[in-house]
Amino acid sequence: MHTASDAFLDALTAAGVSYLFANFGSDHPAVIEALARAAATGRRVPQVITCPFEMVALSAAHGAAQVTGRAEAVLVHVECGTQSLAGAVHNAARGRIPVLIFAGASPFTQHGELPGSRNEFIHWLQDIRDQRGIVRGYVKYDNEVRTGRNIAQIVHRALQIAHSDPKGPVYLVAAREVLEESVPPAEPAPDRFLPVAPQALPADAVPELAAALVAARRPLIVTSYLGRNRDAPAALVRLCRRLGIGVIESVPSHVNFPGDEPLYLGSQWNAQHANPVFAAADVLLVVDSDVPWIPLVNPPRPDAAIYHIDIDPLKPHMPLWHIPARRTFCADAATALDQIDQYVAQRLDGGALDPARIAERTAHYRELHDQRQRALLARERPTGTEITPEFLTACIRRRVDDTTIVLNEGISSYQIIGDHLMLTRPGSMLSSGGSSLGWSGGAAIGVKLARPDHTVISLIGDGSYLFSVPSSVHWMARRYAAPFLQVIYDNAGWKSPKLSLLAVHPDGHAADADDIGVGFAPAPDHAGIAAAAGGAFGRTVSHAAELEPALDAALDAVRRERRCAVLDVKLAPL
C-alpha cells in the first residue's frame, strides 16, 4: 500500500521538513493512515505536533523557520482550518517566512466513484467556490494537487518557491480522493529543487554606491530585516567600520547590527516626531526595509541622496509603497554589502578615502551613540515601587545569555524592549515581521523545538497574550516539552489603539472619556490560564522589588523543571 499521502510525507521528509504542525479533520484519513503506517513500519516522517488552534500551528512553524531558515509544514482542515490560520498568514507573508501550508479539500465525488468519496454531512458544507482564494493575497504560490502521481513534484516546487528570496508561505490543497489514491513509490529529488541563488549587485552599481558613501558627510544605513540572514550583520559592521557609516534600525524584526557598536544609533518606530540623527543624513542607504521611515512625521532631508538595496525592493504585495531612491537594487544584503566593502578595500583604500573624514564621521556617531546609551541607562532606573517597561526590560537583559532567544511582541513597548535589551548577537531577538497580534506564543514553541538547548523568552503585551490563544500554546508547550519563559507587559489593556486615537484626535471626546473600550478590567488571571492549560509556573508581579526574584524563579522553572513560566508584570495601566 502506497498512497499519495505516503508520497506527500516522503516528499516532506526528503526536503528536510522536521515537523507537521497539524490540526486534523475529515479530509485527512489518508494522511493519518499514512502516518500510522510509517510508525508501524519504521519509516521516517515529520513529527506530528498536534495544534489545538491553527493560528498557533502556523506561528510555531513561523518561529521555527526564523531560527533555521527552513520551512516546516502546517496541515489544516479544508477551508475552515484555513480560516483559522487567521492573522498568522499575514505574519508569515509580511515576515517573508518559508512555510508549506497544506489543506484538504472536500471530496469531489458523492456516490463512491473513488475511494474517499463523500460520506459525512460536512462534505457538502465545506465545499466552497475558491478555497485557495482565502489565502491567495498572502502566499507566494498556491496550487491544488490533482493526482497523487505528481504530489512529490508539487511539494518540492512549492518548497523551492517558499525558500527562494523573497521567501514566503505557500499553500497546497488536495481532495480526499487524491490523498487516498494508490501511487507507485517515486524517488523524490529535493536537490533538483534548490532555492534560487542569492542575487548580487550589478557591476556598475558597486562603484556608484561606494563613491556616494565615501563622499557623504553623514552617511547612514537604515535597515529592518537584513539580520534574517545571520551573516549580514557582520557584513554591515565591516562596511560601516571601514567608512564610518551610522546605522539606524527602523521597525526591526531582527538583530541587524550589534547594539554596542559605536556606529549604532538606535531604532525608529511610531514616534510622532522627527528623529534628528536620521534627518541629518545626506546619503541614506536603505537595506532590507518595509518601512524605513514614516514620511508624514519623520522624513529624510529633502536633498538626501537615497539608495535602496532590498531582497524585495518593489514590494508588489503592498499597493502603496514608494521611497524616492536614486537607484534601487534587488540583491541579497550580505552579498551586496560585501561587494561594496571589498571594492572600497581594494580600489579606494589609500586613494579616494580620506582617513580624517572617516575619523570625523566615526567620532561624531560615537558621541551620539554614547549620549543615547547614557540616556537609556538613566531611564531604566526604578523609581519607587512602580515597574516601568524600561526597568522590566533591563532586568530581563541581565538574564539574557549567549544561548537565549528573545521574541519581542511588546507592541507599545516594542522599541523599549529593543533599546534596553541592547542585544549584539544576530538571531538573539525576533519579531514577527508582521502586525497580526499573538505570534509570539506559538513562535516560542517553534523556536524551542528548533533550538532545544536555548532559553526562549517571549515578551508580550497583555492584549497580544490573549490574541496568542494561550490555552493552546501552553497545552502544546507541555505536551511537546518546549518550555519557555513568557513575560507579559501588562498595562491592563490595549494601549496602542489609545495612542493611535490620541495622535489623530488629541483633544476630542474620546481623549477625555473614561472608557473607550480598550481596557481589560476586571483583570484576567493571565498566568492562571497558562497554569491551567499547561501546568506552567505562573506569578503576577506588581511591585518593583518583587521583580528580580520572580524572574529568577520563573527562569528556574523553565531551565530546571522544564516547564513554561508566565510572569504577568503589572505596569502603569493605560
Ligand X SMILES: Cc1ncc(C[n+]2csc(CCOP(=O)(O)OP(=O)(O)O)c2C)c(N)n1
Contact footprint for ligand X (CB under 6 A): 87, 411-413, 435-437, 461-464, 467, 491, 494-497
Strand (E) or helix (H) holding 339: helix 333-343
464 binds, among ligand X, Mg ion, none (CB under 5 to 8 A by kind): ligand X
Residue 455 Cα to chain centre, angstroms: 18
Residue placing its CB nearer to ligand X in the complex, 437 or 531: 437
Comparing CB distances to ligand X, the nearer of 254 and 495 is: 495
The span of 324-332, 342-350, 386-394, 458-466 binding Mg ion (CB under 5 A) equals 458-466
Report the alpha-carbon distance of residue 178 to residue 103 in Å, rounded: 12
With respect to ligand X, which residue has the nearer C-beta, 403 or 435? 435
Using rule CB under 5 A, residue 463 touches Mg ion: yes
461 near Mg ion, judged by CB under 5 A: yes
The 3-state DSSP composition of the chain as helix, strand, coil percent (nearest 5) reads 40, 15, 40
Cis peptide before 324, with omega less than 30 degrees from 0? Answer: no
Terminal CA-CA length for the chain: 61
Judged by CB under 5 A, the residue of 10, 72, 180, 462 near Mg ion is: 462
Which residue's beta carbon is nearest to the bound ligand X?
461
Sign, Cα dihedral of 437, 88, 323, 334? positive
What string marks each residue from 407 to 446 as x (binds Mg ion by CB under 5 A) or -? ----------------------------------------
Give min distance, CB of 495 to Mg ion, in A: 5
227 vs 463 by CB, closer to Mg ion: 463
Stretch that binds Mg ion, among 145-153, 234-242, 388-396, 455-463 (CB under 5 A): 455-463
Determine how many CB atoms are found less than 10 A away from the CB of residue 119: 11
User: Of 185 and 517, which has the nearer Cβ to ligand X?
Assistant: 517
Contacted entry of Mg ion, ligand X, none for residue 555, CB cut-off 5 to 8 Å set by kind: none
Choice between 462 and 568, CB closer to Mg ion: 462
* Identity of the residue, 219 or 538, whose beta carbon is nearer to ligand X in the bound complex: 538
Residue positions counted in the chain: 574
Q: Binding partner of residue 19 among Mg ion, ligand X, none, CB under 5 to 8 Å per kind? A: none
Judge whether 82 and 88 are in contact, CB under 8 Å: no
Residue the block writes with cell 508539487: 154
Beta bridge partners of 230: none
Q: Give the number of other Cβ atoms within 10 Å of residue 340's Cβ.
A: 24
- Choose, by CB under 5 A, the member of 91, 250, 362, 491 that binds Mg ion: 491
Residue 10 sits in the site that holds Mg ion (CB under 5 A): no
Q: Which cell goes with 412? A: 507599545
Least spacing, CB of residue 411 vs Mg ion, in Å: 7
| Helix spans in 150-231 (H) | 151-163, 176-180, 205-215
Name the residue with cell 526590560.
393
Q: At what angle do helices 439-450 and 87-94 cross, to 10 degrees?
A: 60
Decide whether 160 or 491 has the Cβ nearer to Mg ion: 491
Least distance from C-beta 467 to ligand X, angstroms?
A: 5
- Distance in angstroms (rounded) separating the CA atoms of residues 170 and 112: 31
Binding range to Mg ion, per CB under 5 A, among 212-220, 267-275, 423-431, 491-499: 491-499
Distances in whole angstroms, Cα of residue 189 to Cα of each of 100, 152, 155, 524: 17, 9, 11, 51
Identify any residues that bridge with 389 across adjacent strands, giving them in sequence order.
Answer: none
What is residue 16's DSSP assignment? T
Residue closer to ligand X by CB (options 393, 412) is: 412
Number of amino acids touching Mg ion (CB under 5 A): 4
The amino acid that residue 278 corresponds to is: F
> Which among Mg ion, ligand X, none contacts residue 107 (Cβ within 5 to 8 A by kind)?
none
261 binds, among Mg ion, ligand X, none (CB under 5 to 8 A by kind): none
Q: For residue 188, state whether it binds Mg ion (rule: CB under 5 A).
A: no
Q: Which residues bind Mg ion (CB under 5 A)?
A: 461-463, 491
